[in-house]
Amino acid sequence: MLEVDGLTVRFDGVEALRELSITVPTGARVGVLGPNGSGKTTLFNAISGLAGIAAGTIRLDGMTISKLAPHRIAAAGVARTFQSVRLFQRLSALDNALPSVGAASSHEARENALAALDTVGLGERRDTLAGDLSFYEQRQLEIARAIAQRPRLLLADEPTAGLSPAESDHVIALLGRAFGAETAILLIEHKIAAVEALCPRALLLIEGHVAADMPTREMMSDRDLASVYFGSRLTP
Amino acid sequence: MDTYVITVLSNIGMISFVALSAYILLLSGQISFGQQAYFGIGAYTAGIATVMWQWPIAGALVLGALAASVAAGLVGLATLRLSGIYFAMATLAFAEIMRIAAELFVYRREIGGVETGPDGIDGFRDIRYFFANDISPFQSCLIVYALLAAVLAALFIVERTRGGRLLRQVGEDPLLAEVQGIDVMRVRMAAALSAGAVAGLGGGLYAHLMTYVEPRSFDIMLGVHALAYGLIGGLGTALGPLLGVLIDIGLLESTRIFRGYRMIVFGGLVAVLLIVRPRGLLDEVAISRIRQALRRRRHAGG
């Protein structure tokens, strides 16, 4: 279970997150919506240890992770994917998927990585350099890497960005099927259908705090919230 | 064998240690202009051990490598949080400090009726262990290559196991490595320690093969060349920097073809390669292609 309590992050005097509090139970799938600049990626960066925290605490399964170095947070069970694909381009698909956490031995790590590549459909491409993979395959490889880490919490930052509608559907379906009830998923997405397909619950971030936290379907049908998200053009 | 050929081969071997040292750091994503300092520390330490303390050569070489490694660790503590140009500047500054310190370093004692030892700017002469023990230039050349083979074997093993992957991950994208649970500082420190030891071992050999070492032996040009060897030969395999040494010393310096123009040709080669093949001739892409081709052939053959 992820517990974020009173989280504040500042950049150069601007509050990117303001006393933000959320709780994500083990195995939950929660969409994170909000306009550009509302703090979605900053929230992910704060949880994974990449953004300096001005105030507040973050706990994962009862352990305070907000003061840990990023590699210790990963070891505590946090995995993430990036909005713009981030892979080791000069390493093979298998080397990219090999986890540095979540496996007791290098043999187990290798087994996990091979299984993860098979899950996303890249088993045949394991020796190919990540830089030689197609963009869609690179997106899949990012997910394989997360699967192999056996995380307690996956932070998926727009995993369908740049993909066709059909590819996006595949990626969302993959996220739903590849992670079990022991992994919670926080999903940043601009494609509403993708959030609805994976996440029964959604958060709406506005200017660094949680403006709404409710079932995704209700949020979609709430006219006032929809207008915040889509702009006033769509409101009658 | 011709003494000239033996000398050239020995030079190629000894310089390869510095090239491999710079290569290890390049893999971890750090550009060091200061690996020559560890070469110098290894040379002075190993020389002092055999000449002043009458240690056997094996112990002296190990001590030289250890001393260089410890120095690299201390420098690492201060500099490894820097990156890019700042790290490069810091390593260069340290190497210059060490060179100037060597110019001031005087440690003279009477050994067997003759005063000997490091003598500041005049360097450290008469490191005559090989001569005194009837080890011929050919035999000492073999020692160089045996130790180089051992270092290469160790590097190949590391590259094929977890260590090599961690090194390349940290080198390519430290932030991504950190987020995936890799302790980037620890990996960089391990790289700095082993790179220091490899350069120090080369320095210890150099002192004994040349029978002298002086502050000028490890000036900035050695460090610049060491970096260039990896960048020319390629960063996809430990054989890359060796190819770089071979091209420079074996082809440019030792043959008559480019005599007098060596630095011009070498500099031009570096410039051209940095543009068309920024990670050298044997880069990761080339090595991956070769590996896949070999694998296919093995499958086809078996």
Q: Do both A68 and A88 map to the same domain?
A: no
Domain holding A45, by residue range, is: 1-77+154-231
Q: Is residue A56 part of a domain?
A: yes
- Nearest 5°: phi and psi at B69? -65, -45
Average confidence (pLDDT) over B11-27: 96
Distance CA A178, CA A154 (A): 11
pLDDT tier at A231 (50, 70, 90 boundaries)? low
Q: What is the pLDDT of residues B115-154, one digit of tens each?
A: 999 999 999 999 999 999 999 999 999 999 999 999 999 9
Report the range out of B45-54, B76-85, B255-264 with the highest average pLDDT.
B45-54
Query: How does the average pLDDT of chain A come out, rounded?
Result: 92
Answer yes or no: do A138 and A159 share one domain: no
Sheet with A14-24: strands ordered across: A14-24, A2-11, A55-60, A63-64
Per the structure, the count of domains in chain B is: 1
Roughly how many angstroms between the first and final C-alpha of chain A, as a whole number? Answer: 40
Among A150, A173, A191, residue at a domain's last position = A150
Question: Are A57 and A93 found together in one domain?
Answer: no
Per-residue model confidence as pLDDT tens digits over A46-75:
999 999 999 999 999 999 999 999 999 999
Rounded distance between C-alpha atoms, residue A57 and residue A66, angstroms: 6
- For the record, the structure tokens of B83 come out as 């990156």
pLDDT score of A234: 41
Interface with B, mutate which of A45, A68, A85, A88 (most B CBs under 10 A): A88
- Residue A101 in any domain: the answer is yes
Identify the pLDDT of residue B254.
Answer: 73
Q: Which token pair is B53?
A: 């303390």
CB of A70 within 8 Å of any CB in chain B? yes
Q: Quick check: B71 pLDDT over 90?
A: yes
Residue % of chain B over a pLDDT of 70: 99
> Would an 8 Å CB–CB cutoff place A151 in contact with chain B?
no
Q: What pLDDT, on a 0 to 100 scale, did the predictor assign at position A232?
A: 47
**In DSSP terms, which residues pair with A202 in a beta bridge?**
A31, A214
The predicted-structure confidence for B186-221, as pLDDT tens digits, reads as follows 999 999 999 999 999 999 999 999 999 999 999 999
Q: Do both A8 and A66 map to the same domain?
A: yes
Instruction: Look at chain A and report how many structural domains it folds into.
Output: 2
- Does A127 contact B292 at a Cβ distance shorter than 8 Å? yes
The partner residues of A154 in beta bridges, in order of sequence, read A79, A185
* Two structure tokens written together for B139: 């035999």
Q: Domain ends where: A150, A168, A188?
A: A150
Domain shared by A51 and A160, yes or no: yes
The span from the CA of A23 to the CA of A49, in Å, is 18
In a domain, A145, yes or no: yes
Per-residue pLDDT, A229: 64
pLDDT at B255: 72
Give the pLDDT confidence score for residue A230 in this predicted structure.
60
Q: Which member of A80, A87, A99 has the closest CB to residue B179? A: A80
Location of structure tokens 């960089």: B188
Give the CA distances from residue A76 to residues A213, B179, B291, in Å, rounded to whole numbers and listed in that order: 26, 11, 36
Which residues on chain B are in Cβ contact (under 8 Å) with A91? 165, 168-169, 172, 284
From the list A49, A45, A56, A70, the residue with the least C-alpha distance to A22 is: A56
Residue whose pair of structure tokens reads 């950049």 in the numeric block: A11
* Whether the Cβ atoms of residue A147 and residue A109 lie closer than 8 Å to each other: no
Q: Are residues A158 and A210 in the same domain?
A: yes
CA A126/CA A110 separation, integer angstroms = 11
A126 and A10 housed in the same domain:
no
Cβ atoms within 10 A of the Cβ of B88, count? 18
CATH number at residue B117: 1.10.3470
> Which candidate from B173, B181, B288 shows the least CB-CB separation from A101?
B181
Task: Say if residue A170 is in the same domain as residue A53.
Answer: yes
Chain B positions touching chain A (beta carbons under 8 Å):
161-162, 165-166, 168-169, 172-173, 175-184, 279, 284-285, 288, 291-292, 295
Contact B31, B87 (CB under 8 A): yes
pLDDT at A236: 39
Give me the CATH number covering residue A59. 3.40.50.300
Cβ-proximal residues to A217 (8 Å cutoff; 6+ apart), any chain = A196
Considering the domain architecture, whether residues A223 and A123 belong to the same structural domain is answered as no
Beta bridge partners of A203: A32, A213
CA distances, B117 to each of A39, A146, B120, B121, B125 (Å)? 65, 59, 10, 12, 7
Q: Is the pLDDT of residue A235 over 60?
A: no
Which chain B residues are closer than 8 Å to A69 by Cβ? 178, 183
Average pLDDT estimate for B226-253: 91
A177 and A61 within one domain: yes
Query: Contact B25/B191 with Cβ under 8 angstroms?
Result: yes
Contact residues on chain B for A112, CB-CB shorter than 8 A:
none
Phi/psi at A4 (5° precision): -110, 130
Using alpha carbons, select from A2, A48, A1, A7 the residue that is nearest to residue A210: A7
Verify that A117 and A225 share a domain, yes or no: no
User: Cβ contacts of residue B254 below 8 Å, gap of 6+?
Assistant: B8
Beta-bridge mates of residue B119: B106
- Rounded CA-CA distance A25/A3 in Å is 8
pTM: 0.91
ipTM > 0.85?
Answer: yes
Confidence label for B299 from pLDDT (cuts 50, 70 and 90): confident
Q: Are residues A124 and A194 in the same domain?
A: no
Encode pLDDT of A98-155 as tens digits. Answer: 999 988 898 999 999 999 999 999 999 999 999 999 999 999 999 999 999 999 999 9
Closest C-alpha among A142, A138, A148 to residue A179: A148
Residue A236: inside a domain, yes or no? no
Compute the distance between CA of residue A134 and CA of residue A42 in angstroms, rounded to an integer: 28
Task: Decide: residue A135, CB within 10 A, 0-12 exposed, 13-18 middle, 19+ buried.
Answer: exposed
Ordered DSSP codes for A99-160: -SSS-SSHHHHHHHHHHHHHHHT-GGGTTSBGGGS-HHHHHHHHHHHHHHT--SEEEEE-TT
Name the average pLDDT for chain B: 93
Domain residues for the domain of B268 are 3-301
Residues in a beta bridge with A9? A17
Q: In the prediction, which pLDDT does A233 show?
A: 43
DSSP string over B80-142: TT--HHHHHHHHHHHHHHHHHHHHH-B--EEETTEEES-BGGG-B----HHHHTT--HHHHHH
Residues constituting chain A: 236
Chain B: residue whose CA lies nearest to A128: B288
